[in-house]
């Protein structure tokens, strides 16, 4: 199981002081390199429509510097799709986006957007970019993702993470993830997962089959304040290493 490190909130720290300026710290290229040297298998960034953290120039610079795998999270809007086609990340993950949300609050409604998502998927694939859809662990969304022709789904683990926090013995959200992963794999989709994951709850995900990659950001950046970014990446990799698939 691979680890993609989301560095959005490193950009959040920079924007708190240097918003609107062409320079500032911390530097995302340096942060991404630290994550890669610590063993991360990829770097994830979310170019939001309101540019609250990641900026267009960040996408360009990281595309030039990332040596592992650059994953661009994005909404299915013409402006952002055009940026993806120009910068050509290795993979994009199409996510829902609402301006007022603090972070992505749920999965994409792939079932209700088959036609538009299929058109975007075709354009991105034609440019050599793999496509993932960030969805809730729901059979209808998995089946729609397969019809759209995505290469990956990323299962939204937010409800699982909240259930683990409030009642670790409650396995209902874990069961949903297990069933969705099995269905996605049977449909020919590769399976990623992410949202709200920590070193405490990741081992519970070992029951979920077919996971290729976890995308984790906030917890790693938070831990980095105490132990440093490379150590936080290593800590997460150690939490993941016994996964058998």
What does the pLDDT look like over 75-129, one tens digit per residue?
Answer: 999 999 999 999 999 999 999 976 555 555 689 999 999 999 999 999 999 999 9
Active-site residue, 46 included: yes
Q: Is residue 245 part of a domain?
A: no
Domain that holds residue 166: 2-240
Residue length of the chain: 245
- Other beta carbons less than 10 A from residue 210's beta carbon: 16
Q: How confident is the model at residue 215 (pLDDT cuts 50, 70, 90)?
A: very high
Cα dihedral 100, 151, 45, 108 in deg (nearest 10): 10
| CA 73 – CA 81 distance, rounded (Å) | 11
Read off the pLDDT of each residue in 209-224 and give the average, rounded to a whole number.
Answer: 98
Whole-prediction pTM: 0.95
Q: Is residue 47 part of a domain?
A: yes
The single residue of 73, 154, 173, 213 carrying the catalytic annotation is 73
Q: Is residue 177 part of a domain?
A: yes
Active-site residue, 111 included: no
| CA 104 – CA 193 distance, rounded (Å) | 14
Quick: pLDDT tens for 155-197.
999 999 999 999 888 899 999 999 999 999 999 999 999 999 9
Active-site residue, 164 included: no
Cα dihedral 132, 216, 47, 121 in deg (nearest 10): 0
Q: Using an 8 Å Cβ cutoff, are 214 and 194 in contact?
A: yes
Q: Is residue 212 part of a domain?
A: yes
Q: Is residue 87 part of a domain?
A: yes
| Residue 230 belongs to domain with CATH number | 3.20.20.70
pLDDT beyond 90 at 38: yes
């Amino acid at each position: 199981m691979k680890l993609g490190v989301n560095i959005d909130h490193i950009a959040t720290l920079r924007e708190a002081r240097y918003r609107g300026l062409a320079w500032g710290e911390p530097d995302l290229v340096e942060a991404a390199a630290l994550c890669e040297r610590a063993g991360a298998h990829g770097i994830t960034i979310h170019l939001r429509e309101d540019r609250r953290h990641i900026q267009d120039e960040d996408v360009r610079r990281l595309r030039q510097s990332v040596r592992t795998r650059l994953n661009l999270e994005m909404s299915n809007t013409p402006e952002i799709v055009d940026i993806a086609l120009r910068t050509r990340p290795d993979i994009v993950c199409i996510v829902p986006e609402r301006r007022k949300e603090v972070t992505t609050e749920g999965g994409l409604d792939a079932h209700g957007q088959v036609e538009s998502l299929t058109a975007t998927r075709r354009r991105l694939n034609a440019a050599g970019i793999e496509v993932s859809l960030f969805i809730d662990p729901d059979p209808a969304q998995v089946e729609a993702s397969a019809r759209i022709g995505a290469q990956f789904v990323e299962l939204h683990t937010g409800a699982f993470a909240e259930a683990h926090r409030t009642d670790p013995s409650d396995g209902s959200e874990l069961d949903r993830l297990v069933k969705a992963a099995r269905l996605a794999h049977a449909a020919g989709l590769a399976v990623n997962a992410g949202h709200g994951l920590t070193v405490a709850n990741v081992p519970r995900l070992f029951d979920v089959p077919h996971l290729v990659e976890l995308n984790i950001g906030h917890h790693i950046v938070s831990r980095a304040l105490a132990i440093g970014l490379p150590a936080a990446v290593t800590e997460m990799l150690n939490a993941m290493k016994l996964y058998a698939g």
